[in-house]
Structure formats: C-alpha cells, structure tokens
Structure 1
Amino acid sequence: MMRLRRRFLAFVGGVVVIWFVFLLMGSDIIMDYDRPASKEEPVELLWWSRHMSWNYDVERQCGIYTCRVTNKRNRLKSSRGVLFYGSALDVGDFPLPRRPQHAWALLHEESPRNVPFVPHNEFLNHFQVTSTFSRFSNFPLTTQYLPSGGALTSTDYYVSFAGKSASAHRPSTSVVFLQSDCDTMTGREDYVKELMKYVEVDSYGACLQNKKLPKSLQKDYLNNLYSPELLKFLSSYKFMIAIENAACADYITEKFWRPLVMGVVPIYFGSPTIKYWEPNNKSAIYVSDFPHPRALAKYLHEVAENQTEYDSYRSHKITWNRPIKNKKLNYSLLTRQYHIGDTSPGGSLFERFECSVCRYVLTSTRKTRANTTHYDCPIEPEYAHLESQQEPQNVADWRSMMQVGKCQAKILDTYFRRNRSYTKAEFDVEINRRMDESDCVL
C-alpha cells in the first residue's frame, strides 16, 4: 500500500510541477475553473480525495476526446465524472447529494486488506466505472506488474540449471523469500515459517529475515522491484516463494511475474484464477497442490535434483517456438491499457485512468453498474494450509476486519441511496449500533 500511495503522490506531484510551469509561461492550457463553463469547454472530471491537498487542474487529451480534470470541490455540480482512489477512500467523505449526471469511477489496484468495504456489492453497485485487478473491470490491471511479453522470454537474467546448481554457498534446493509485509490475509509468514523446517530458505526481507541483501540493494528495494541489480542477484536461486497478501480472483502482483522474468520457478499461492494467466500449462509450483509445507518441501527437493523436471517449468525461457502458449495472456498483453514501466506520454496509471473515465462519460449511452466481478475477493479469508490444519495466527483478526467491512458497505449503501450528506460522527454511531446488534455478521 505504501508503494502505491508513493506512486499516487509522485504522479500528482509531477502534475503540480507542470501546472506551475504552464502558469509561469502564461499558457492558456490551464484555464480558470471558477468561471462558468461554456459549451465549448471540455467535460469536467473531479478527483475526490483529501490526499490531494494542492490545486490540480489540467486538460487531459485522450485520443480524440478531451476532458478537464480537477480536484476543486466547488466544481462538483458541473462535473460529469467523480474519481476515487481506493487506498485513499474515507467512509465519512463522499460527495452527496449525488446528481444524476455524476458517473462515479473507482481506481483500486490493491487487495481489500486496507479498504475492507470495497469487495461488497452494496458498495460496488454505486460505481459506473472501475479500474481494478479484475479482468472484468472497465480498465483491467490484471497484468500490470508484467513489464512485457518480451520480459518473460528474455534471457537477460537467465541462469542455466547447472549454473544454479554450482553455487558452493547454498544448498541444491535453493529457495529465496523476499517479503517485508508480515501480517497478511493468506497467512504467508506462518506458512513460510513451517516450510523452513524442511527446506533451507534465504529470507532477505523484514519477514523471517535470516540474511541481508547486499548493501547496494538494501535502500528502497520495495520501490525498485525490477531493478536490474536486484533481478540479477535473485536469478541465481532455483525457487522463489510468491505468496500474495490476499487471495482474490485475478489479483496477481510482481510476486508471480518477477520470478518468471528472472527464470526462477515461483512457489505460488494467491489468486484462484492464476492458471488462466500463466505463460504455459506448467509455469509455477502451486502451494494449493500440496496438503502442507512438508509435502511441498519434499517435492522441491526432488525437482531441484532433476534438470529435466526443473526446466519443464521454464519453457518460456528455453523454448524458441511459441515460448508463451497461453493465447489469453498474449491477447491481454496486446490489448492492455497500462503496465508498470510505461514511459510513454500519458503512460502513468492515473493519467490512463482519467482517460478511461473521460471516454466513458463522453461515449456511454447506458447506465452501467459495477458488481463483485469487478473486485472479486472472498469475504472469508483464504490462506495457505499448515500441517496442523490450524488457522494462521492472524486470520481471526482479518475475518473480523472483513466483517466490519461488510457493515461499512451496508451503511454506505443506505446513505448513498438516501442521497443526503452525512458526517463521520453519524457514520461511527451507526456502525457501532449495528456491530453491537450483530447486524453485520458474515
């Protein structure tokens, strides 16, 4: 979440710099939004976020369409689209009363762990446009963490089986874990801790750390996920633990794509739809295929000693003829609207999202509504199973959090339908009442 908020702040900060430059140059590109709009002026979109505490007012050219995007709340009445950033949502701050022309648009690429009311239909149904990790959202971000199809097939970081096996300072079954978010809905830390009993794991992040990254990589590696130096360092391992922080359909982060880019075999748990997106039928080892960590460790030892079996997971690196056989993945890479590392003009996530909403409000002829397919996350946390069959230690807390999220979504639905403004204090009173009366039990 911290990484995404930094990205959000960097984006809007950059726009602020451009705005001041244009202002100093006397450009008429930045127009005075406080004067009445004429018929010739572009359609207006409004960012509704208190995190944007500075003036943001730009004209966005989106192909043949033009919209003006602002964060000036006094422009709410004249705006056609209202834009929300998921990680900055505030239950006490929604623009009510809502006018008939207002299309609400939600950008939320994260899992529900930081905003637990988002997965519920009672909340999602009030949005016309979404951009999430789901392939069914209006502006899907499912493959955003895969730089390109070429990155999957490139041999820039490829290390042969013999090269990986020749390391004198690590065992043949070389497994790496690089994670600094230790409390997750999937019970990631609990699973890895048990796996470590049966196979040696080099853990470099804050979670279960037993080794330190080289000094040159220790600074801000979380915001440099694909730095060449980091990829080269990790590529000598045979396996990389890749467990998402939540198990949502199509929620796939760098944890899956990065090892594939390096030619390292992912040990994956997370999205239940992951096999829809893997490059080939055998691209990763899936935690859910094994009853417990001990069984997984046994299999890792076997694969690590068998070159044919190990390389069968790396056909996207070593096969010249059709290295990526998944047609659905290839089509997605050809048609997607955004991916990390896009340096083209207007290539940032937030600019692309603004344009997707701009096109919607200018071309849509029907009132669409989002639903749970746009953000498909289980309300009951799904986690990697331990041999004892006990829940990971923090799952009960996550379950309670999702229960609160359900309650929040119901209250927001009531307020949105009533279409009158309310205060944060009123919201807090209502949620306390419902929780006390067990009105929001999952």
Structure 2
Amino acid sequence: MSCAACPSLRPFVFSSVAVLCFISIFLMYRSDVQYRDFGIYIGQGNPFCPAFLCAEEAQTKDTHPTNSTELHNNQSSQEDPGTITSLTPPTLQSSTITSLTPPTLQSSTITSLTPPTLQNSTITSLTPPTLQSSTITSLTPPTIQSSTITSLTQKIQAAAVDAEPDTIVLIWMYPFGSTFPLSCAVFNISRCQLTDDKTLYNKAHGVLFHHRNINGQLVANIPKMPRLPFQKWVWFNMESPANSHPISELNQAYNLTCSYRLDSDIPVPYGYMEPLKSEDESFKLPAKDKLVCWIVSNWNARFRRVEFYNELKKHVEIHTYGRAFGKQVNHEDYSKIISTCKFYLSFENSIYTDYITEKFFRPMKLGTVPIALGPSRQMYEEHVPRDSFIHFQDFSTPKELAERLLYLDQNHTEYMRFFNWTSKFKVKDSDFGREHACQTCKYLQNHKEYQAVKDLNSWFWG
C-alpha cells in the first residue's frame, strides 16, 4: 500500500478508536448504573411520587377530608421535604419547588411566607381545604328570636327609666284654692312628683297655672324667674270662654294646654266612661217618683237654657232646686234628688266646643237620663253612646220634647233602653285639679320635645 492512500484512511481510524474507547468506558461503569422500574412511582406506600403523576391522586384525597384539623395533619405528614428558605425578592434562594401546578400545590413544604424573609414556618397547603360541618357548624349568624330581642329591649328601657329622675310637676296655685293629694297612684301613673313647693321651680319639668287664679293678679301670680329651657308652662282651665277672660300678656307664654277640650294638648273632660270590672256592682235602676228635675244656681234670663226652660215648663212639670229657686242643695241632697228623677235638665250655662260638664255626667252616674243643652249632639257622642241621652235639638220645639217625655213615662221598656250602656260601662267623674296635674306629668314623661302655644287667645276665645 502506498503512502498516497493514508490521508483517506485517517478519519476511519480515528472513528474506530473513538468507538473502542466508548465501549471500554461503558463496560467499566455498567455495574453502577441503576434503571428503576416505572411501576415503583405508583407503588403503594411509596413516600415519593412525582407531581405530574400524583397531582390527580392528591386532589382526590383532598376532596373529602374527615375534618379540617385532620386534613392539615395528614398533609403535613405526607409532604415531600422540599424547602423554600426564602422568598426575598428578587432571587429565590436555596429552595426546591416540586410543583406549582394550580389549583393545588402538591408535595411541597414552604418554610416561610412572611415578607420580606419568610422563616421557620411550614404551610402544608396553599389550597383552601373544604370546611366540614363537623368542624365549623355554621358560618351563618345564629337566628336571634324576637322574644329575646323584646326581652332585651324591655330591660334596656326599664334600666333607662330607672336611671331617670322622677318627673316634677309644680302646682303654682291650687284651682280656686282647693288642695288635693299630691300623688298619682290612683291613676296608675308612676315616677311623678307633684309639689306645691315653689323653691323647686328650677327643678320642675312642668309648672301648672290655673287660669282663673291668675286673672286680676298677674304680677303676683306669675314666676319672677324666666322659664328654663327644659321646662314647660302648662295653661290649665276648665271654665268656658264665657266664664273666663283672656290675658294678652300671657298669650304666647305657655308650652301646653290642659282643659276639657278634646283638642287640648292634655285633654281632661269633666267625666268619661270606662269599661266595667268584675268587682263592679251590676246596675240597678233607682226608684223614681219624679219625671223631670233641675238644680240651678246661676240664673240669667238671657241664657239659652233659661229660655228653653221657660218654654218646656208650660208642657210638663219640672221639679226645680238650687239657689236660683231659693232651695239650697248640699252634696248629699243633690244625689238623692237626681236619682229619684227619670230625666234631668243637663243645661250648660254657655254653649262652646266640648263644654260638657258634671251637669251631664253626674245624672248618668246616678241612674238618670240627661237632657243635654250644650254643644252639638256629635260632640256628646264623642264621650257617651248616642242612645244614652236626649239632646234638646232632637226636637223642633220644647213642646215636642215634653210630649216625648210624657210618652216615656208611660212606657217602661222604651225608657230602659237609655241604660243599655250600663251592661258594659260605668261613668267616672274627673278628679278636679289632681287628675289634671297627674295627666300633665304623664304627658311630660312621653313628650320631651319642645312645644309652644303660639296663640292661646285665638284658639280658646277666638
């Protein structure tokens, strides 16, 4: 073989030598190479499983944990000890993250998540575990029963009431000088302090002024001190406009009104009906020996009641009593006389809105049918049943009324229909002065807002 062929053989020689060297090295190290069977990765009990193979299995196991506490314990014991020592930006150091495959982070232990350096903590899972009912019974606020709320509210209100001082009502002057007990227990009104001690003026929540006692003595009968911001002055009057006169200086001085008028701030009529109680006696009609009676002291020929009486007496007998007829009547005699009459002339001395006095209510209480002369029938019916009385305007003339009275005198069944109300109600007289003071106290307890009477004179006398 000539030397001219050597260059063409040179690459082949080198290739052959390289193959021989590779074979020699392979044979030298073949005892150290281990080829794992792929099946070991899915073997039971193997402490390690590649994330791409076991992610689905891990999700299946996490779907139905027995409770949240158990879930954390199991995951902590089965995680591969891969560790992230720090998440300090910008470089993640000394860490091995097996998998970040969402939604579940499998087989990893995170040492810290606390920025900027997360240290010394292990988070078994970043996937929120399912909260089982055995661990957390309810995330819904428990239902609070209305009875519990009501009870709690009542206790709070009671505590608030107990913390408040008693309401003080100062009686600046007794009506017509007639004193009365300074207690409201009879009306079931509590936390009221009635007083006539004027040194308590600066503490009084309300001051009660009787209008008729102020007339003619304005300077002497009005406080020298100004009204306090929290205090209310109460105008008290039970006389009709014809029997009392306005005081221009006090037209806008009051905060509240207390009178027989139903549109007063504190209405207190002369009488009223209330339901019967089990202990009340059944109604029994008193023995009657007179048809019509009238007791009167204030006589004035121009009064409407006098004019009507003068016509009525021409057609029916009327038994008259009182100072106007020279027959003084005391309280005991008054009751005896009226109870023996079938009808009583409940004639008011003047006719004004809601002015219905004891002349009407007392005969009803004593078992006598009142014949009303005063405001409209409708106003009377706001106080008593419509078939419990006779109104003077029910008849076109006094003569027609007399004829009706004579008929009822002879027809007992018809007459007794006027007392149908007695099976359900009884009549009460108002406690003059005392009831006004107590009702004022009750009103003040329930109305603490500011109030004022803008034009008293127009309202009452206008």
TM-score by length of 1: 0.52
Q: Is the 8 A contact 1:52 1:71 kept in 2?
A: no
- Say whether residues 1:89 and 2:214 are aligned partners: yes
Cα offset, 1:156, TM superposition: 4.3
Instruction: Trace 1:92-171 onto structure 2 (pairs within 5 A).
Output: 92-93=218-219, 94-95=222-223, 97-117=226-246, 126-144=253-271, 154-159=282-287, 164=288
Q: Which residue of 2 aligns with 1:188?
A: 305
Aligned to 2:394: 289
User: Offset at 1:284?
Assistant: 1.3
Structure 2 residues not aligned, in runs of 5+: 1-163
Q: 1:368 aligns with which of 445, 451, 455?
A: 451
1:174-211 superposed Cα distances (whole Å, 9 cap, x missing partner): 211111122398522222122212221111112346xx
Q: Indicate if the aligned counterparts of 2:351 and 2:375 stay in contact, CA closer than 8 A.
A: yes
- Aligned-residue Cα RMSD (Å) equals 4.5
The reply to whether residue 235 of structure 1 matches residue 360 of structure 2 is no
* Aligned 8 A contact 1:134 1:250 in 2: yes
Q: CA deviation at 1:84?
A: 0.2
Task: Give the aligned partner of residue 176 of structure 1.
Answer: 293
Are 1:309 and 2:378 counterparts? no
Q: What letter corresponds to residue 274 of structure 1 in structure 2?
A: Y
Say if 1:361 and 1:187 are closer, same or farther in 2 by CA, change over 3 A: same
Q: 1:148 to 1:294 in 2, by over 3 A?
A: same
Deviation at 1:71, TM superposition (A): 4.4
Q: Determine the C-alpha separation between the residues in 1 that align with 2:239 and 2:402.
A: 30
Q: Aligned letter for 1:367?
A: Y
Q: Could you tell me how far 1:268 is from its partner in structure 2?
A: 0.8
Question: TM (normalized to structure 2)?
Answer: 0.50
Question: SS at 2:271's partner residue?
Answer: coil
Equivalent residue number for residue 403 of structure 2: 298
Of 164, 184, 191, the match for 1:65:
191
Q: How do residues 8-19 of structure 1 correspond to structure 2 at under 5 angstroms?
A: none
Q: How far, CA to CA, are the matches of 2:457 and 2:283 in structure 1?
A: 35
Structure 2 residue corresponding to 1:249, chosen from 335, 353, 357:
353
Give the match's secondary structure for 2:371.
strand
- Assess if the C-alpha contact under 8 Å between 1:178 and 1:204 holds in 2: yes
SS in 1 for 2:269: coil
Deviations 1:126-179 (A, max 9, x none): 4223321123334332253769857998434533xxxx4xx5xx6xxx211111
How far 1:374 moved relative to its partner?
12
* Structure 1 residues 201-240: aligned runs within 5 Å: 201-208=318-325, 212=327, 221=330, 224=331, 227=332, 230-240=334-344
> How far off is 1:276 after superposition?
1.9
Structure 1 residue corresponding to 2:380, chosen from 263, 274, 290: 274
Q: Does the CA contact (< 8 Å) of 1:81 and 1:361 recur in 2?
A: yes
Aligned to 2:400, the other structure's residue is in SS state helix
Q: What do the CA deviations read for 1:305-360 (whole angstroms, capped 9, x no partner)?
A: 3334323323235xxxx555xxxxx8xx8xxxx844xxxxxxx6544444444455
**SS in structure 2 at match of 1:207:** helix
Q: Distance in 2 between matches of 1:370 and 1:51?
A: 21
Which of 259, 284, 287 does residue 363 from structure 2 map onto?
Answer: 259
Q: Could you tell me which amino acid in structure 1 is paired with residue 172 of structure 2?
A: W
3-state SS, counterpart of residue 341 of structure 2: coil
Q: Secondary structure at the match of 2:375?
A: coil
CA contact (8 A) 1:134 1:374 kept: no
- 2:258 counterpart letter in structure 1: S
> Secondary structure of the residue that 2:346 maps to in structure 1?
strand
SS of equivalent to 2:233: strand
Does the 8 Å CA contact 1:157/1:232 hold for their aligned counterparts? no
In structure 1, C-alpha distance between the alignment counterparts of 2:270 and 2:342, rounded to whole Å: 23
Q: Is the alpha carbon distance of 1:234 and 1:49 closer, same or farther for their aligned partners in structure 2, counting shifts above 3 Å? A: closer
CA displacement at 1:282 relative to structure 2: 1.3
The alpha-carbon distance between structure 1 residues 287 and 99, as it changes in their structure 2 partners (threshold 3 A), is same
Distance 1:48 1:203, change over 3 A: same
Is the Cα contact below 8 Å between 1:133 and 1:375 reproduced in 2? Answer: no
Distance 1:375 1:152 in 2: 43
* Maintained 8 Å contact 1:176/1:239: yes
Aligned to 1:438: none
CA offsets, 1:386-406, max 9 Å, x none? xxxxxxxxxxxxxxxxxxxx6
Letter in 1 for 2:315: Y
**C-alpha contact 1:186 1:270 (8 A) present in aligned 2:** no
CA 1:188–1:375 in structure 2 vs 1: closer, same or farther (change >3 Å)?
Answer: farther
Q: Give the 3-state SS of the residue equivalent to 1:197 in structure 2.
A: coil
Equivalent residue of 1:282, what SS? helix
How much has 1:88 moved relative to structure 2? Answer: 0.9
Distance change >3 Å, CA 116–CA 264, structure 1 → 2:
same
Q: CA deviation at 1:361?
A: 4.8
Shift of 1:303: 2.9
**CA positional deviation for 1:256:** 1.5
Displacement after TM superposition at 1:243 (Å): 0.7
Picking from 170, 188, 199, the partner of 2:316 is: 199
